[in-house]
């Protein structure tokens, strides 16, 4: 943390002298250091505090480059808010982690346990958490995909269009929303993560060790994999169904031309894999990028976002900056400038109403009393509405809100990180992967005052209950 504080002070001084590039590089270095520190201690690629620091501090460093004419020098209070958010999160996480470690060490001494490593995390499959759960996971996948597909069809019929086939309408996805129904449509983003669990559960059920689902066990034979007497492989109905519903769940974001939903679905699946295996080979990352980049570019074209259209919005100081640099840069950098607009322009705080938006939305109270949600959004440009994780916390209570939000979020993330080490239900990895994605995209939006976030968590909690305590006749593997 000392390294971060020194770098932050240096970055602030450099920004005040308009040495923007160096100011940003210093903060990016601090972000990498904070992430590396947590990774070195835990050997966990998706350590929640490490991801938050990498994304939030690193994103601030990227924003410090000031490559767009929309970006201005931040107010001193803005700099202080960003510092306070990181300090509160980091210290709360550290405090909870140390308390849990001391409790574990005391318990280890009392029971004579030899394993007192606070970062101990059992290998996938070591505890048998996946054993006998594959059919329940498959039922969850099929159920979520079925409801999502029906909701998508309902929206398409009611609204009279499908965004993918509405070429020439730049904001077609923004109009593709039926209140209350769209939450079910986008719940399909959870299915790829459940597919990862399904593969692991099948592997463990087949007698694999170490949770390696992608290698056929040596000497494996039998009625399920071969037709007796013919030597011809029999179709695996469970795997075929799982792959089919996963394909449908990925197709829905494509039809909605939602790049964000596609990234969320794939990202959570990758994080679920890492949460179980604790490793992710470079070749997998390269393959994933090779598949995701063309899909992202295709969705950009289908959204009718031409290069000239995007350059006109982003207003880069160098008009010759390639669009593949401009677009990700602005989706990260401008969010911090939007927060600065909030600090400079906000007249009065909303006293909790902004962060309670999921309550007003999911209960329908926003329709009965529109004043509950009628707050202006302060941004640099009308089209650029993404904000940072702490935007609503400041909107509600100012710097006190950021302090409380950082402390609460850091403590909860530390508890979740510890609970995962003792998880007996495989769906716990999906819950962890969701929070990890929110931390990895902390620069993007106010995740915890977004109704979709809580809807996803509710659906995952239902899957968690079903896999762990569901109906008994789903006990046999498929």
Q: What is the pLDDT of residues 229-250, one digit of tens each?
A: 444 444 578 899 999 999 999 9
C-beta neighbour count of 2 within 10 angstroms: 6
Give pTM, 2 decimals. 0.85
Q: Which residues of the chain have pLDDT under 70?
A: 107-132, 167-174, 204-235, 282-286, 288-309, 470-478
Residue 252 belongs to a domain: yes
Give the domain extent around 279: 2-101+127-215+236-308+404-474
User: What total of structural domains would you count in the chain?
Assistant: 1
Cα-Cα-Cα-Cα dihedral sign, residues 399, 404, 405, 411 = positive
Residue 225 belongs to a domain: no
Residue 205 belongs to a domain: yes
C-beta neighbour count of 364 within 10 angstroms: 10
Q: What is the pLDDT of residue 171?
A: 58
CB-based contact 431:391 (threshold 8 Å): no
Residue 344 belongs to a domain: no
Under DSSP, is residue 357 helix (H, G, I), strand (E, B) or coil? helix
Q: What is the pLDDT of residue 209?
A: 39
Q: What is the pLDDT of residue 232?
A: 46
Burial class (CB in 10 A: 0-12, 13-18, 19+), 154: middle
CB-based contact 276:429 (threshold 8 Å): yes
Q: What is the pLDDT of residue 328?
A: 85
Residue 95 belongs to a domain: yes
Residue 118 belongs to a domain: no
Residue 339 belongs to a domain: no
Residue 256 and residue 302: Cα distance in Å, rounded?
A: 10
Residue 379 belongs to a domain: no
H helices of 355-427, in order, are 357-363, 365-368, 391-397, 399-420
Residue 205 and residue 187: Cα distance in Å, rounded?
A: 28
Residue 378 and residue 337: Cα distance in Å, rounded?
A: 10
Unique residue bearing structure tokens 């399920």: 224
């Amino acid at each position: 943390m000392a390294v971060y504080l020194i770098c932050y002070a240096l970055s602030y001084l450099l920004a005040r002298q308009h040495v923007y590039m160096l100011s940003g590089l210093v903060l990016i270095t601090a972000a990498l250091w904070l992430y590396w520190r947590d990774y070195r201690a835990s050997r966990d690629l998706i350590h929640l505090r490490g991801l938050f620091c990498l994304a939030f501090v690193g994103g601030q460093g990227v924003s410090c480059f000031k490559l767009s004419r929309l970006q201005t020098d931040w107010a001193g209070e803005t700099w202080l808010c960003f510092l306070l958010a990181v300090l509160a999160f980091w210290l709360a996480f550290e405090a909870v982690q140390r308390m849990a470690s001391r409790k574990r060490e005391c318990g280890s001494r009392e029971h004579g346990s030899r394993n007192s490593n606070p970062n101990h995390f059992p290998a996938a499959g070591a505890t048998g958490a996946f054993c006998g759960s594959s059919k329940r996971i498959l039922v969850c996948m099929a159920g979520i995909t079925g409801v999502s597909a029906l909701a998508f069809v309902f929206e398409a019929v009611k609204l009279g269009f499908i965004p993918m086939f509405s070429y020439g309408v730049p904001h077609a996805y923004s109009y593709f929303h039926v209140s209350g129904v769209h939450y079910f449509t986008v719940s399909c983003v959870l299915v790829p993560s459940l597919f990862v669990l399904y593969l692991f559960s099948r592997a463990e059920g087949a007698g694999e060790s170490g949770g390696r689902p992608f290698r056929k066990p040596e000497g494996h034979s039998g009625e399920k994999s071969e037709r007796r007497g013919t030597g011809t492989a029999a179709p695996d109905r469970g795997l075929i169904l799982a792959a089919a519903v996963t394909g449908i769940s990925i197709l829905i974001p494509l039809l909605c031309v939602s790049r964000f939903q596609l990234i969320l679905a794939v990202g959570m699946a990758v994080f679920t894999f890492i949460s179980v295996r604790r490793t992710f080979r470079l070749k997998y990352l390269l393959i994933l990028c090779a598949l995701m980049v063309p899909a992202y570019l295709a969705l950009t074209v289908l959204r009718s976002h031409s290069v000239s259209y995007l350059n006109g919005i982003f207003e880069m100081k160098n008009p010759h900056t390639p669009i593949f640099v401009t677009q990700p840069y602005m989706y990260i950098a401008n969010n911090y400038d939007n927060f600065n607009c909030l600090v400079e322009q906000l007249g009065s705080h909303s006293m909790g109403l902004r962060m309670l938006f999921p309550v007003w939305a999911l209960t329908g109270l926003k329709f009965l009393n529109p004043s509950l949600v009628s707050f202006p959004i302060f941004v640099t440009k009308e089209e650029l509405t993404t904000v940072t994780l702490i935007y609503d916390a400041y909107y509600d209570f100012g710097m006190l809100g950021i302090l409380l939000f950082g402390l609460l979020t850091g403590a909860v993330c530390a508890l979740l990180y510890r609970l995962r080490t003792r998880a007996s239900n495989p769906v716990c990895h999906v819950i962890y992967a969701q929070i990890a994605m929110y931390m990895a995209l902390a620069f993007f939006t106010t995740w915890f005052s977004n109704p979709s976030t809580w809807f996803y968590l509710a659906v995952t909690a239902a899957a968690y209950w079903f896999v762990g305590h569901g109906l008994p006749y789903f006990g046999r593997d498929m």
